[in-house]
Structure 1
Amino acid sequence: MTNIQERKAQLEARLAALDVKLHEIGAELDSHQSRDWEELAVERETDEVLEGEGRAGKAEIAAIRAALDRIEEGSYGECVQCGEDIAEARLDLLPYTPFCAQCARNLQR
């Protein structure tokens, strides 16, 4: 069983890694200024992929910050929907999840 301080450190490390990645994505997007039409087309395709990664990263950052808030509140590991404990195995896979497996399934329907 992972203790709460280990989980917090894991979330903070992921948050730091995402911050670095988002800065790298921003720098890459800013660097695309080709004057050649073919290169510009390739850069635009790359930009779309990078922008998608950036959106996903920002969503994960929001989820991690919410999980860190739940740690501070003392409610981390409890489903925000039903109040039941979230399985340790689920938290191992998605340490920032606010939902138990059952509630997550219900939300996808």
Structure 2
Amino acid sequence: MSTFDPRVALDRLHLEYSQRVSAIRGDLGQPHAADSAEQASERQNDDVLRALLAEAEEGLRAVARARQRLAEGTYGACLRCGGPIEPARLAALPTAEYCLGCTDRTP
């Protein structure tokens, strides 16, 4: 059985999100076709790409916040109740900020 290492998990996530951001920015930087019908389709695709870019950038911010908590010694503690975040939850979602109980509660 392997032991969960948050640093390794966060490094892996950071790399994944960084690669996504780079690829999406590259796609968004491509010129559009001269055909107006094709341009309309490409602009719709750009809207989807911008949404995916925002999601990937938020992922990078979540990784940065998790790394900060790790450096401060508070990684794995729920930001709402202060209790421990379940190890299985952290293994599945290394950037988790809340325990399962607090995640289910409304803000």
Q: TM-score normalised to the size of structure 1?
A: 0.89
- Over the matched positions of the two proteins, sequence identity in percent amounts to 28
Match of 2:102 in 1: 103
How far off its partner does 1:16 sit?
1.3
Q: Unpaired runs of 5+ in structure 2?
A: none
Structure 1 counterpart of 2:75, one-letter code: Y
Task: String of CA shifts for 1:2-25, please: whole Å, max 9, x gaps.
Answer: 34xx21111111111211111111
How far off its partner does 1:87 sit?
0.4
Q: Unpaired runs of 5+ in structure 1?
A: none
SS at match of 1:89: helix
Match of 1:2 in 2: 3
Match of 1:66 in 2: 65
Aligned partners of 2:31 and 2:52: how far apart in 1? 16
Size of the aligned set, in residue pairs, is 106
Task: String of CA shifts for 1:19-77, please: whole Å, max 9, x gaps.
Answer: 11111111101103221111101111111111110011111111111001111111100
Q: TM-score normalised to the size of structure 2?
A: 0.91
Which has more helix, going by share of residues? 1
Match of 2:12 in 1: 13
Which aligned pairs between 1:40-59 and structure 2 lie closer than 5 A?
A: 40-59=39-58
